[in-house]
Amino acid sequence: MKQTIFTLLLISAIGLVSCRKHGNQPNIKQYDQEQIQNYISANGITGMKKDTVGGDTSGIYYKIILQPQTDTALTYSDNISFVFTIKSFDGHYISSDTIQNHFQTYVGHIISSALPTGLELAILNDLKYVGASMRVLIPSHLAYGVNGYGSGSITNTSSRIAGNQCLDYYVHVIASQPDKAQRQAAYDYQVIKNYMAANSLTGLYTLDSGVYYHVQTQGTGTDPLTDNTTAEVTFNGRLLNGTVFSSATSPDSTSVEIPSLIAGVSRTLKRHAVKGTVISMIMPSYLGYGTQAQSEIPANSCLRFEFTIQSVSP
């Protein structure tokens, strides 16, 4: 009996020791802070400030890169447009495509857009203003936690952020109400100019009512395209990162009614195309799908189209 009691007491003591947390064992916030400090040091990052909004630090570090042109601070109810890049601290996950990483949402809905809590806090508390840019280091407990984020197994780094990863973001808030349309248009044109320069398109395209266009082949038809026109066409529509979202390629064609096309395409075809015309167009988001995201088209996306007009009726 005594041996049995002694055995039970020994097992209990072992259990208590195994559950005890050592004083030098870091909690998740301490672990994140260590990771952030090591990351800053290893990458030679300077000028970072620690977020202390509310008096109790969130563990976020940030640096304002571009100062705002307004003194009206953002609130949760502001509808903003912003772009970002993201890199996990381990370097395995990198997403630098600001065509896809382009959101239009309420500040208070950033989290519901599958973005980290820390990003919403940093935009609201640290970036604060429209037209500003920042670099922000988000601790894992305000990012995607122990589970990480993305698809595939934990070894699939190209589409998955591993668990307990702190994140390195660059964020630029483009626009908000009530000046959203004007600010978005200015951003769109800068994106288009950068795209044209990167692809050696400068000088080949002419700006007409918001659309850059280039007639690659002059048409032979005499009937202009109007709102009453139905045309047989082949076409290719893609984002400026090369993602094709719609197409009808030769020898197959498709029948389209000119007024049913998005504003930028309809306007440009009516002004510059007839039967036989081959034309390329690059347009800002407000002449495409605007703030309404489509299946493969993020909100506020600039678009590129190539159209060949095969026949026209009536």
| Stretches in the chain below the pLDDT threshold 50 | 1-23
CB distance 139 to 116 below 8 Å: no
Token pair for residue 120? 């919403």
Q: Whole-prediction pTM value?
A: 0.73
Q: What is the structure's pLDDT at 273?
A: 96
Q: Which region holds residue 291: left if phi is over 0, alpha if psi is between -120 and 50, else beta?
A: alpha
Q: What is the structure's pLDDT at 181?
A: 76
Q: What is the structure's pLDDT at 6?
A: 41
Q: What is the structure's pLDDT at 156?
A: 59
Token pair for residue 63? 């640096």
Q: What is the structure's pLDDT at 5?
A: 43
CA atoms within 13 Å, Cβ hemisphere of 217: 12
Q: In whole angstroms, what is the distance from residue 239 CA to residue 266 CA? A: 18
DSSP secondary structure, 91-124, as one string = SS-EE--TTTSEEEEEGGGTGGGT--HHHHHHII
CB distance 23 to 81 below 8 Å: no
CB distance 84 to 97 below 8 Å: no
Q: In whole angstroms, what is the distance from residue 283 CA to residue 209 CA? A: 10
Q: What is the structure's pLDDT at 202?
A: 78
DSSP label at 259? G
Q: What is the structure's pLDDT at 4?
A: 47
Q: What is the structure's pLDDT at 267?
A: 95
Distance of CA 71 to the CA centre of its chain: 25
CB distance 254 to 233 below 8 Å: yes
Helix (H, G, I), strand (E, B) or coil at 71: coil
Domains of the chain: 21-178 (3.10.50.40), 202-313 (3.10.50.40)
Q: In whole angstroms, what is the distance from residue 91 CA to residue 158 CA? A: 10
Q: How far is CA 18 from CA 13, 25, 30, 311, in A?
A: 9, 13, 22, 80
